[in-house]
Structure 1
Amino acid sequence: MSSNYTLRDEIRDYWSARAATFDQQVGHEIFSEAERQAWQDLFLRHLGPGEGRSALDLASGTGVISHLLDGLGFKVTGLDWSDAMLTRARAKAASRGARIRFVVGDAERTLEKPESYDVIVTRHLVWTLVDPEAAFKEWHSLLKPGGKVLIVDGDFVSDTLVKRMIRLFERVTGRTMAPHRPDAMRETHERILRQVYFSKGARAAEVADLLRKAGFADIAVDHDLKRIHREQAKHMSMLKGLERATQHRYAIAATKS
């Protein structure tokens, strides 16, 4: 492997390899109207209606969050570093007639114009950041005064009672409850996880502290994601649904003063 191949490159290539099956997994794509409404209600609670305001969906993947924001009336830009993800995102937008702008870019170094967005939204991005403090400063610079960032994330690393129950079930039955991935891809994921900033898990309090250091104010941590998790659990095994409901998951809203 070239010495110029960085951790960020490896993260980009890993998600590019996941693009073909990304929308098949619960928690990535949305599989019911009830879940869609639960997500939109979360966004309305923290961001209000779009009303033509500009929104940036960072690490947009195949555009799931971009479409939710578009449906609320935001003028949406989806930014992702993976061409494979963006190819699917653009095709999905075209099939739905959605006017969403998708651009290639690194969520930690976007190259977008300062003070050009009213809202920034991320889902399951922060736990993968290499340098979250620098990323948060970048996001702060992209927002207009009074703009808001909404981060939906969680600690997907720390061990829990339910995780131990799942491991016991798998050991006893010889069946795996995790999405099937080739061994090489699983090893890549584990190698990446060991190197990112939140390798021990992205806890809400630490994320909030870093947002404060980056200049954000009025930081609110929202753990009330029950409606979303309840709808997702309808498409999962009982143990996996229980795991999702009991994990340290949250939404954090913060304002550029």
Structure 2
Amino acid sequence: MTTLHHNLSLKDEIRDFWSMRSETFDTMPGHEIFSVAERQAWLALFARHLGLPPQGAKALDLASGTGVISLLLADLGYAVTGLDLSEAMLARARAKTVGKPIRLYAGDAEDTLEASDSYDAVATRHLVWTLPDPPAAFREWHRVLKPGGRVAIVDVDMTNPRPGNGKVLRLLAKLARMVSAPKPPPPYKATHDDIVSRVYFSGGCRPEEIARLLVEAGFVDVVIDRDLRAIHRAQGRFMPLHQRLERASQDRFIVSARKP
């Protein structure tokens, strides 16, 4: 049976989904930053993978959402361009980034329309798992980076448990959820699941596959880093036990690489 999508493209549906989610996005731990400890952990992570920028360096924040990562990159010293499909997300980002060296506009991460060799860094958080065509996106990011520029991809595989004790943690999360006050699934879950079933990483966003595609796009010095513990500890202080366990069971990572 064919699912009807009312003549919307998948990107249209993704845009509309995140526009709807924009109303509550910044209320959720793991989206907005709620503590100094978490902010410092994010800054350290990006500094580790992008390096400290020289004066005048420019960064492109793709799927910039409400501006959380754009603000971090600006704090590191970059002049930031944030790009997002959703005008609703961008409206919230503009309100948060007044007075910062951040330019925001609506656009497509797979076709940025930015000039070639124009950015020192490209950063994303929780974008790649939603992309219809990651190979095209990675070629585009390679194009807009200057030689020597770096890309940093923060993402999560919510389908496959993390290597090691992920399966055990997933089971513990289910048990913890059962004994906590049960809540119905959010009203947007069916839409979310339908979109996920049609993206490139529908079977799970594996960092090893991201790394392979980055190499195909021309990147070198690819690094997979799963050590996001400082960020997760800080976020966990604002989460119930079952959510902390569930997130700990997921494969959360950053993949970085360099344009030669």
The question of whether the paired residues in 2 share the 8 Å contact of 1:162 and 1:239 is answered with no
Gaps of 5+ in 1: none
- Per-residue CA distance 1:191-211 (angstroms, 9 max, x = gap): 001001111111111110000
1:116 Cα deviation after fit? 1.1
Question: Taking structure 1 as the reference length, what is the TM-score of the superposition?
Answer: 0.92
Partner of residue 32 from structure 1, selected from 30, 35, 43 = 35
> Quick one: which amino acid aligns to residue 167 of structure 1?
K
Check if 1:254 corresponds to 2:257: yes
**Aligned residue number for residue 91 of structure 1:** 95
1:148 Cα deviation after fit? 0.4
After superposition, residues 194-213 of structure 1 pair within 5 angstroms as 194-213=197-216
> Quick one: which amino acid aligns to residue 73 of structure 1?
G
Change (3 A) 1:170 1:224: closer
Change (3 A) 1:91 1:174: closer
Describe the SS at the equivalent of 1:252: strand
Describe the SS at the equivalent of 2:221: strand
Check if 1:48 corresponds to 2:55: no
Partner of residue 242 from structure 1, selected from 216, 223, 245 = 245
What is the count of residue pairs matched by the alignment?
251
Check if 1:66 corresponds to 2:66: no
Matches of 2:30 and 2:231, distance apart in 1 = 9
**Higher deviation after alignment, 67-76 or 48-57:** 48-57
Describe the SS at the equivalent of 1:20: coil
**Aligned residue number for residue 121 of structure 1:** 123
Instruction: Report the structure, 1 or 2, having the larger helix content.
Output: 1
1:162 Cα deviation after fit? 3.0
1:30 Cα deviation after fit? 0.2
Matches of 1:199 and 1:20, distance apart in 2 = 26
The question of whether the paired residues in 1 share the 8 Å contact of 2:56 and 2:78 is answered with yes
Describe the SS at the equivalent of 2:159: coil
Matches of 1:165 and 1:10, distance apart in 2 = 34
Gaps of 5+ in 2: 162-166
Matches of 1:2 and 1:191, distance apart in 2 = 10
The alignment's C-alpha RMSD in Å is 1.7
Partner of residue 21 from structure 1, selected from 24, 29, 48 = 24
Matches of 1:246 and 1:149, distance apart in 2 = 26
The question of whether the paired residues in 2 share the 8 Å contact of 1:226 and 1:245 is answered with no
**Higher deviation after alignment, 72-81 or 167-176:** 167-176
> Quick one: which amino acid aligns to residue 75 of structure 2?
G
> Quick one: which amino acid aligns to residue 138 of structure 2?
F
Matches of 2:24 and 2:179, distance apart in 1 = 28
1:3 Cα deviation after fit? 5.5
Matches of 2:5 and 2:193, distance apart in 1 = 20
**Aligned residue number for residue 161 of structure 1:** 168
Describe the SS at the equivalent of 1:195: coil
The question of whether the paired residues in 1 share the 8 Å contact of 2:56 and 2:79 is answered with yes
Question: Taking structure 2 as the reference length, what is the TM-score of the superposition?
Answer: 0.91
- Per-residue CA distance 1:142-195 (angstroms, 9 max, x = gap): 10111100001120122533333333444455613x8x632xx21110000100
Matches of 1:254 and 1:108, distance apart in 2 = 18
> Quick one: which amino acid aligns to residue 93 of structure 2?
A
